[in-house]
Structure 1
Amino acid sequence: MNLSTPDEQRTAVITGAGSPRGIGLATARRFAREGWAVALLDLDDAAVALSVKTIQAEYDVPAFGVSCDVTSPDSLQQAAAAIAAADLPAVGALANVAGIPSPSSFEDLTLEEWNKVIAVNLTGCFLTSKAFVPAMVDGGYGRIVNMSSVTAQHGGGVFSKTAYAAAKAGVIGFTKGLARELAVHGITVNAIAPGVVDTDIRVGSDAENEAKLSQAVPLRRQASPDEIAALYVWLSSADAGYITGTTQSINGGAYIS
């Protein structure tokens, strides 16, 4: 048995996989490179379809895409049903990547924005897990990796502020609780806490600000999406089967504890 992958081909479900420069697509490509089948979810139907075509052109693995709102239980249940009905191997991993920033200061933060940030970044992890954990239990193999952030660890200071910090801190607590509950099934649950990553999530950020963000990191650069993707895939591997309930920092030294 190859300990780096499950003992048979499994499907990795990746949320937020529509952006061409995003962590979601990079993670899907990395899973495919390692021989996993992939199911891509994104709110943007056209974007997720293009992501699937990208993977199909590069890798000889099953790839499937579906438009999905991670804040909607009905949308996620429909996505799970579509994946189950597709010609894919059993679901073995869930990469919760979908998220939105929140650069608003506390004084300017509205309840509407607060609720949306919590819904996408935190409730989305809960709902996707509810949708796909049954398949992992039935299939006998399960890995869940949730997206937190260095912002949760030091309260901001990168781009997003209080609402985002609260949501991503909630992800860490959710990860720990779920890890304890699912351990009886052999399913592991971990979180990733990236620092600044070279993606398009920071809408409105200019070149000068991006340079400042890079210089504030001890390694003096931003992470690439593929570096984050590599951690997602490794935590989903058989090698990582004794690691659960953790938050893995990947921030270039921006936060050391």
Structure 2
Amino acid sequence: MNEVPRWSGGYGFQIFQEFRWSKILKNGRDKINNSDDLFYQKHITHFEGVYTWRKWIRVTLKAPLVYYDYRLPNSSGRVERQTKEGFGNIILAVPLKYYMNKKRWSGHVGFTPQIRFGGNSSGSDNEISDGSTDFGASLSFEKETAFLKIYGGTTYWFEQASGQKDELKLDFGVGWNFHDRGSISFDVDYVDEKEDHQWLGAGFSFFWNFNDIVMARIEYKHALFEYEDRVGITTGNVIRLGIGFVF
């Protein structure tokens, strides 16, 4: 749904739900006994909009509403259950893409400068956002035939908050197009917060274009590898369910 609309003056929006959960406690790469029954759950409602000036240039805005439910030690070391919610980092981006249309395939390469504005939180020990304004850039590619597609990308965030480390994201996928409106893909994602946290996940996604205006996507990724710099609950698996509209 992130590739439309491709026509000048087109616009659209999408809303999707993201769920993450884990009860795995780790120190570095080592899984340790979770005797205190610690857990972590995150529910994010993503609000995203896009406007296309020209086929090759558009502007996007992403605003996540985050809800946490977790049982973790607080600042005094006492284990307790807490909840919090608030808007996370709001991202403004300008995707720039060069499209290629050949006889047997089409595709694009892209560059996206981005700026990330720190959101708010409920003020508990584990903040939703660090409140800083960060700068990032993405590179992406896609090649597609009538039946198959391959795509990937990388994003790097330059953290501006004191004591926070830069963030690297990588993604790669292959997919099968069918019925002119649907696709099933196998995706691999990797997140590296410079040795504080690393996450590698893989899974399948299903996309369906109902009528060129309404589109939907379902995605599941299973955590294959996680690293925690200090003792903590891992990020865990993720499910995303979304619907989008383009005009």
Q: TM-score range by the shorter chain?
A: 0.3 to 0.5
- What TM-score does the superposition give when structure 2 sets the normalisation length? 0.35
Q: Which is strand-richer, 1 or 2?
A: 2
Q: Which is helix-richer, 1 or 2?
A: 1
Q: Rg: which structure is higher?
A: 2
- What TM-score does the superposition give when structure 1 sets the normalisation length? 0.34
